[in-house]
């Protein structure tokens, strides 16, 4: 004969098995099986085609302008403000890759005061224009309060970008930063006379 306690134990194990099966295959358990993922912030220049860029126009708040224009092909660029002197193609490519691969820290949904972020009239303005005449307007603002990010406005959208990326852009967006390297004259040699 089977003892009463054995029957009770078998019944408890059967109930636990049914309970485990129910929660394993229950439709409400599907939500528990997925892992939360971080929402990817779209890149501001994701749809821009670098190879179609014909013109890069930069204006600083003090009125200094810099216009870089593509020549006969993508490997020849010139600086308008320097009597059409050729720009270093590698540095132009670096400038474009910095822009096109920039990954925002965050996208701001609502902005109440552009001036507080250094945007608007007092911002550095950058304009990219392609062969069809389409363009993107970019404003580079001031750093965030923590100094880890910089506000930018691309079209009508606002982002916070890593400050070092903006600092690299600032270094490149100068005549000196984009001029082609020139040959240095040979060093002067002096003859010693007794």
Confidence of residue 35 (pLDDT cuts 50, 70, 90): low
Global confidence as pTM: 0.68
Locate 183 and state its tokens: 């040959």
* pLDDT in the model for residue 184: 41
Q: How many CB atoms lie within 10 A of CB 143?
A: 16
Q: Which SS3 state, helix, strand or coil, does residue 104 take?
A: coil
- Residues near 163 by Cβ (< 8 Å), separated by ≥ 6? 143, 147, 148, 149, 150
| Contact in structure between 169 and 178 (CB atoms under 8 Å) | no
pLDDT (0 to 100) of residue 85: 80
Residue with tokens 């001036």: 115
State the pLDDT at residue 161: 92
> Are residues 104 and 144 in contact, defined by beta-carbon separation less than 8 angstroms?
no
With residue 18 as reference, give the H or E element that holds it: helix 4-25
Domain range list for the chain: 4-33, 50-178
């Amino acid at each position: 004969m089977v003892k009463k306690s054995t029957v009770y134990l078998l019944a408890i194990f059967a109930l636990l098995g049914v309970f485990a099966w129910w929660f394993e295959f229950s439709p409400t358990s599907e939500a528990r099986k997925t892992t939360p993922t971080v929402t990817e912030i779209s890149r501001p220049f994701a749809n821009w085609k670098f190879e179609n860029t014909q013109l890069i126009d930069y204006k600083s708040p003090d009125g200094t302008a810099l216009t870089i224009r593509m020549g006969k092909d993508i490997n020849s660029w010139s600086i308008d403000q320097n009597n059409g002197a050729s720009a270093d193609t590698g540095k132009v490519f670096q400038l474009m890759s910095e822009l096109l691969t920039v990954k925002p820290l965050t996208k701001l949904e609502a902005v109440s005061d552009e001036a507080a972020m250094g945007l608007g009239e007092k911002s550095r303005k950058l304009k990219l224009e392609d062969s069809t005449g389409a363009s993107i307007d970019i404003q580079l603002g001031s750093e965030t309060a923590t100094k880890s990010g910089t506000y930018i406005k691309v079209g009508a959208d606002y982002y916070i970008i890593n400050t070092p990326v903006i600092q690299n852009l600032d270094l490149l967006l100068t005549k000196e930063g984009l001029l082609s390297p020139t040959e240095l004259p040979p060093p002067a040699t002096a003859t010693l006379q007794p």
